[in-house]
């Protein structure tokens, strides 16, 4: 299934794509694509619905594909070639940091360069959405906790992140720095370790990679994170980016405002964002 949310910020309606690519309104069945709707039981209930029996939604803004996100957990340096372009060693354990949930926005919403920024960067990433909660999850059971997958642009301000002390969250959390969607594609339709992914700025392709080259795969990440905190339905894990970020260019290339980013992951849809200024 491909699940999405359509409407203005704060007023999105839950929807499902039918076989023709038409968004069908789920609001008569569930309140949102969030919480218990993402559990195995919740998704099984949606699988029993014939989309053809639901009203079609008019075209409109696509919101984040998950509502009421509890935790937005990110993994750094999870592609060896990206670690190299960043001048950092390949980690022996996953590098974990958090992104403020206030950064979450729709896949085609404008991205705003924050005030005082001069090193605003892009990162196409595979997002993992938790469906079944748990803690101390075994590696063998980890994939049963995944509801589905989505595209994430982990927008980053490198000077805030690296040069101004403290933790990476400072450079990751500006408003609009977390475009998510367009769809949540349920786990039964996705091989998360064999997906091509790409990102372009103004038509120039900077990132062109594959989840095959992750250092730590999805199952390990779910297991690993659950050793430090409980994972809950609707939590999002952004799993790292392949090479080609602006910081890694020679010379570096950063977003100033006025650009258009386009990015996508095989089978999970595409995003398009105009870059503005806060």
Residue 87, pLDDT score: 79
Q: Is the pLDDT of residue 83 over 80?
A: no
pLDDT range class, residue 141, cuts 50, 70, 90: very high
- Regarding predicted confidence, which is higher, 232 or 80? 232
User: Strands of 269-277's sheet, edge to edge?
Assistant: 111-113, 269-277, 260-265, 196-201, 204-210
Residue 240 contacts residue 214 (beta carbons within 8 Å): yes
Count: domains in the chain: 2
Please report, rounded to a whole number, the percentage of residues in the chain having pLDDT higher than 70.
100
Same domain, 88 and 170: yes
Q: Is 265 exposed, middle or buried (0-12, 13-18, 19+ CB in 10 A)?
A: buried
Q: What is the pLDDT of residue 84?
A: 77
Reported as a pLDDT band with limits 50, 70 and 90, residue 82 is confident
| Model pTM score | 0.97
In a domain, 192, yes or no: yes
259/145 Cα distance (integer angstroms): 37
Please indicate, yes or no, if residue 173 is contained in any of the structural domains.
yes
**What pLDDT score does 86 carry?**
76
CATH at 113: 3.90.850.10
* Domain housing 21: 2-53
User: Residue 244's pLDDT is what?
Assistant: 96
pLDDT of residue 90: 84
């Amino acid at each position: 299934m491909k699940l999405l949310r359509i409407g203005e910020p704060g007023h999105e309606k839950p929807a499902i794509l039918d076989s023709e690519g038409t968004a069908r309104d789920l609001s008569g069945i569930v309140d949102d694509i969030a919480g218990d709707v993402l559990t195995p039981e919740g998704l099984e209930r949606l699988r029993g619905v014939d989309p053809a029996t639901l009203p079609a939604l008019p075209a409109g803004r696509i919101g984040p594909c998950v509502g009421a996100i509890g935790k937005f957990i990110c993994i750094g340096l999870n592609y060896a070639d990206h670690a190299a372009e960043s001048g950092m060693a390949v980690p022996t354990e996953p590098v974990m940091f958090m992104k403020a949930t206030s950064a979450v926005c729709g896949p085609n919403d404008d991205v705003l360069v924050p005030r005082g920024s001069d090193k605003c960067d892009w990162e196409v990433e595979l997002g993992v959405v938790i469906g079944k909660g748990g803690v101390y999850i075994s590696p063998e059971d980890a994939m049963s906790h995944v509801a589905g997958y989505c595209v994430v642009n982990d927008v980053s301000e490198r000077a805030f992140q690296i040069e101004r002390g403290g933790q990476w969250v400072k450079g990751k959390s500006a408003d609009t720095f977390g475009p998510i969607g367009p769809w949540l594609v349920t786990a039964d339709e996705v091989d998360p370790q064999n997906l091509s992914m790409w990102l372009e700025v103004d038509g120039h392709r900077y990132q062109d990679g594959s989840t095959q080259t992750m250092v730590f795969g999805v199952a390990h990440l779910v297991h690993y994170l659950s050793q430090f905190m409980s994972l809950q339905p609707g939590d999002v894990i952004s799993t790292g980016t392949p090479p080609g970020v602006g910081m890694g260019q020679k010379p570096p290339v950063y977003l100033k405002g006025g650009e258009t980013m386009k990015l996508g992951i095989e089978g999970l849809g595409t995003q398009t964002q105009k870059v503005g200024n806060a």
